[in-house]
Amino acid sequence: AHTVGRNADGVLTVGGITATRLAEEFGTPAYILDEADFRARARAWRTAFGTDADVFYAGKAFLSRAVVRWLYEEGLNLDVCSGGELATALSAGMPAERIALHGNNKSVQEITRAIEAGVGRIVLDSFQEIVRVAHIAQSLGKRQKVQIRITVGVEAHTHEFIATAHEDQKFGIPLAGGQAAEAVRRALQLDGLELIGIHSHIGSQIFDMSGFEVAAHRVVGLLKDIRDEHGVELPEIDLGGGLGIAYTSDDDPREPHEIAKALTEIVSRECDAARLRTPRISVEPGRAIVGPTAFTLYEVGTVKPLDGLRTYVSVDGGMSDNIRTALYDAEYSVALVSRASDAGPVLARVVGKHCESGDIVVKDAFLPADLAPGDLIAVPATGAYCRSMASNYNHVPRPPVVAVQDGEARVIVRRETEEDLLRLDVG
């Protein structure tokens, strides 16, 4: 987060507030989100893509009403993938036409609510859904703008991508075997649908732009086939999200303006070659906007050196507030933030308080040898897919999200209490 620094005592400060004060006021663990940084990143994406393209923030990375208002104010649109995300967006005042609804198995209720609210687009994910959305729209007397999500046979993860003939996964309609073309044929025939474009999402935490290049080539190829077969040029394409962030110093992410330039150049080059009008582009970054803007603040509870192995540092949260290490073998860094230390580094593993040995927050890290119970440590880059994937495993209440800016801190998602947990237990 760009307002992060250290004061004269070596205490971490963010948005002009010390980590020690944040811990005192809000308790630990807590997600501390730098509002200025969030807004700056959102704005950078918006500005990079300009007025000829749209940026849909992917709410699955982290969504709350404050976030929805920031996005609204910074001129971004919003991608939601469930009724709950849709309800959050609408309740915070995001205009429905700036919302896109995603998901591979949207319920009839979710689809109905989205169409009634007037969402800007629904991204169709299967043949059944094409018919389902068309029927619901028609029964409501509406014509719903839709995109069809296709799978282009490219799978990108981090520094690599794989282009295969066929992707063995649940999302989208395969381009291969003429399935996507058939989906377009059906969608164009249904009165309840207005087909506005084609959607492709190739993966997450991607650094290598060549996967997008292959995807854009294949999507534009489909647009050309549609023009040749139906005489219509679809006006939009969405290239999804997936741009990577730096979790550790090994990662070297691209800036939004580089990404925007690369994507718009690829699409217009491909369209020129196919003699198509260049469609309006949209993208759906989640992690790249919110990921770097928050860190998790933990208090150290125990420090257990295991001779010849490593030192286990237990914190007051764990896999319930950050499942990514256990689930994806994700890499994080960590730092002592409540004081300075001259002690030498020891190889440490930061673990949580949950009842299983896979409950690891940071696999390998160096921490000062004098680390002790009561110290505060921070794990950076936990803004994306941490609070949004948090659980109540072991009946541990989920931590709050505290937004800081200009010397002020406010809770935007409050800490769960034992009462919250018990409220659902009606047996």
Token representation of residue 198: 């084609």
Is 258 annotated for ligand binding? no
Return the number of the residue (15 or 240) whose C-beta is nearest ligand LLP: 240
DSSP letter for 420, please.
Answer: H
Return the number of the residue (101 or 115) whose C-beta is nearest ligand LLP: 101
Is 242 annotated for ligand binding? yes
Return the number of the residue (13 or 147) whose C-beta is nearest ligand LLP: 147
Amino acid at 21: R
Angle between helices 65-73 and 83-91 (to 10 degrees): 60
Is 143 annotated for ligand binding? no
User: Are β-strands 203-206 and 376-380 bridged in parallel, bridged antiparallel, or unpaired?
Assistant: unpaired
Diameter of the chain measured on Cα atoms: 72
Interface with ligand LLP, residue 106, by CB under 6 A: no
Interaction residues for ligand LLP, span 260-299 (CB under 6 A): 284-288
Interface with ligand LLP, residue 28, by CB under 6 A: no
Partners of 263 in the beta sheet?
A: none
DSSP letter for 247, please.
Answer: S
Interface with ligand LLP, residue 241, by CB under 6 A: yes
Is 155 annotated for ligand binding? no
Angstrom distance (rounded) from CA 257 to CA 251: 18
Interaction residues for ligand LLP, span 193-212 (CB under 6 A): 201, 204-205
Return the number of the residue (368 or 380) whose C-beta is nearest ligand LLP: 380
Interface with ligand LLP, residue 368, by CB under 6 A: no
Alpha helices in 231-276 (DSSP H): 256-273
Among 41, 43, 46, 102, binds ligand LLP (CB under 6 A): 102
Return the number of the residue (201 or 349) whose C-beta is nearest ligand LLP: 201
Interface with ligand LLP, residue 325, by CB under 6 A: no
Q: Tell me the closest approach of the beta carbon of residue 11 to ligand LLP, in angstroms.
A: 30
Angle subtended at Cα 203 by Cα 199 and Cα 204, rounded to the nearest 5 degrees: 125
| Total of chain residues touching ligand LLP, rule CB under 6 A | 21
Interface with ligand LLP, residue 387, by CB under 6 A: no
Torsion of CA 75, 81, 87, 90, to 10 degrees: 20
Enumerate the active-site residues. 355
Return the number of the residue (398 or 405) whose C-beta is nearest ligand LLP: 398
The 10 Å Cβ neighbour count of residue 366 is 14
Interface with ligand LLP, residue 240, by CB under 6 A: yes
Interface with ligand LLP, residue 385, by CB under 6 A: yes
Q: Tell me the closest approach of the beta carbon of residue 172 to ligand LLP, in angstroms.
A: 9
Amino acid at 126: S
Rg of the chain over CA atoms, in angstroms? 23
Is 356 annotated for ligand binding? yes
Return the number of the residue (7 or 105) whose C-beta is nearest ligand LLP: 105
Is 284 annotated for ligand binding? yes
Is 298 annotated for ligand binding? no
Q: Which stretch binds ligand LLP (CB under 6 A): 8-16, 219-227, 234-242, 392-400?
A: 234-242
Angstrom distance (rounded) from CA 294 to CA 297: 10
Return all residues near 357 (Cβ < 8 A) that are at least 6 apart: none
Q: Reduce the DSSP state of residue 415 to 3 states and report it.
A: coil
Which stretches of 322-414 are assigned E, i.e. beta strand? 335-336, 345-351, 360-368, 376-380, 401-405, 408-413
DSSP letter for 243, please.
Answer: B
- Per-residue mark of binding to ligand LLP, 115-154 (x: CB under 6 A): ----------------------------------------
- Contact between 327 and 333 (Cβ < 8 Å): no
- Contact between 124 and 100 (Cβ < 8 Å): no
- Per-residue mark of binding to ligand LLP, 61-90 (x: CB under 6 A): x-----------------x-----------
Question: What distance lies between CA 44 and its chain's CA centroid?
Answer: 16
- Per-residue mark of binding to ligand LLP, 244-263 (x: CB under 6 A): --------------------
Angle subtended at Cα 218 by Cα 225 and Cα 165, rounded to the nearest 5 degrees: 110
- Annotation: binding site: 242, 284-287, 324, 328, 356, 385
Binding site for ligand LLP (CB under 6 A): 58, 60-61, 79, 102, 201, 204-205, 240-243, 284-288, 324, 328, 384-385
- Annotation: binding site for substrate: 287, 324, 328, 356, 385
- Annotation: binding site for pyridoxal 5'-phosphate: 242, 284-287, 385
